[in-house]
């Protein structure tokens, strides 16, 4: 059994980090080393995000509801004085919004061939 969070680790998390890395470089003028330090990843990972080698299985640029959350996460990182739980909460809300779009369903379908995707509505349901 494949859980939605397992799918998110392989698709959503890299896509969100790629979007954040790109915005940190393009809109905040940071270099790849600075972005790597802020995101807690290697400079080579940032380079792969920039070259669209990694983190582009999902394209999140046009997912409007996540843009304020991305901005909030970037602001927290840039400020440097934040509670880890605050950042994680924003990241999880971002992931939930992305899952509700149905963008992740195709990955579930590929990963869990026995699952009837038409009967699965976990990700697209509003939060309890």
- What is the pLDDT, as a whole number, of residue 6? 86
Long-range contacts of 88-95 (CB under 8 A, 24+ apart): 91/16, 93/69, 94/16, 94/66, 94/69, 94/70, 95/8, 95/12, 95/13, 95/16
Asked whether the predicted pLDDT for residue 103 surpasses 90, the reply is no
Is residue 11 situated within a structural domain?
yes
Is residue 119 situated within a structural domain?
no
- Residue 25: CB atoms within 10 A of its CB come to 17
Give the closest residue to 20 by CA, choosing from 65, 83, 78, 79: 78
This prediction has a pTM of 0.87
Is residue 29 situated within a structural domain?
yes
Is residue 25 situated within a structural domain?
yes
Q: What is the mean pLDDT of residues 104-115?
A: 75
* C-beta of residue 91 within 8 angstroms of C-beta of residue 5: no
Is residue 81 situated within a structural domain?
yes
Q: What is the largest CA-CA distance in the chain?
A: 47
* CA-based R_g, the chain, Å: 15
3 state SS of 73: helix
- Residue 94: CB atoms within 10 A of its CB come to 26
Rounded to whole angstroms, how far apart are CA atoms 9 and 88? 14
- What is the pLDDT, as a whole number, of residue 118? 64
Q: What is the mean pLDDT of residues 45-71?
A: 93
Is residue 124 situated within a structural domain?
no
Is residue 120 situated within a structural domain?
no
Note down the domain range covering 94: 4-111
Number of domains in the chain: 1
Is residue 123 situated within a structural domain?
no
């Amino acid at each position: 059994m494949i859980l939605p969070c397992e799918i998110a680790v392989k698709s959503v998390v890299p896509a969100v980090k790629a979007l954040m890395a790109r915005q940190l470089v393009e809109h905040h003028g940071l270099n790849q080393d600075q972005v790597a330090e802020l995101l807690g990843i290697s400079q080579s990972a940032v380079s792969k995000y920039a070259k669209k080698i990694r983190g582009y299985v999902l394209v999140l640029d046009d997912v409007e509801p996540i843009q304020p959350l991305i901005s909030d996460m970037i602001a927290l990182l840039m400020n440097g004085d934040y509670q880890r739980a605050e950042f994680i909460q924003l990241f999880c809300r971002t992931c939930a919004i992305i899952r509700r779009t149905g963008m992740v369903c195709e990955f579930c379908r590929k990963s869990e061939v026995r699952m009837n995707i038409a009967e699965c509505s976990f990700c697209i349901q509003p939060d309890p």
